[in-house]
Amino acid sequence: MLWTDLEPEPGLLFALEHAGPRPETGSQNEKRGWSERLANACAVAIADELRRIPIFRGKRIRPADLKTGTEPLTPLGAGTSKRIDVTVADPLLGLEIGLSLKGLNFADGGSGNYDKNLTGRLYELVDEVRLVHEHLPRALMAGIFFLPMAAATDKTKGKSSFAHTVVKLRERTGRLDPSLAHHAHRCDCAFVGLYTTGTEGGYPAGIVRFLNVAEAPPFRGRPIVESTRGLKDLVDDIVGQAISQDRIDWAHPEAD
Q: Range of 77's domain? A: 3-244
250: in domain: no
256: in domain: no
Asked if the model's pLDDT at residue 71 lies above 80, the reply is no
Q: What is the pLDDT of residue 172?
A: 96
Q: What is the pLDDT of residues 156-180, one digit of tens each?
A: 899 999 999 999 999 999 988 887 8
HEC profile of 100-124: EEEECCCCCCCCCCCCCCHHHHHHH
70: in domain: yes
30: in domain: yes
252: in domain: no
**Mean pLDDT rounded to a whole number for the chain:** 93
Cα separation, 229 vs 235, in Å, equals 9
Q: pTM score, two decimals? A: 0.93
* Bridge-based pairing state of the strands 208-212 and 73-77: unpaired
Q: What is the pLDDT of residue 73?
A: 77
176: in domain: yes
In total, how many domains does the chain have?
Answer: 1
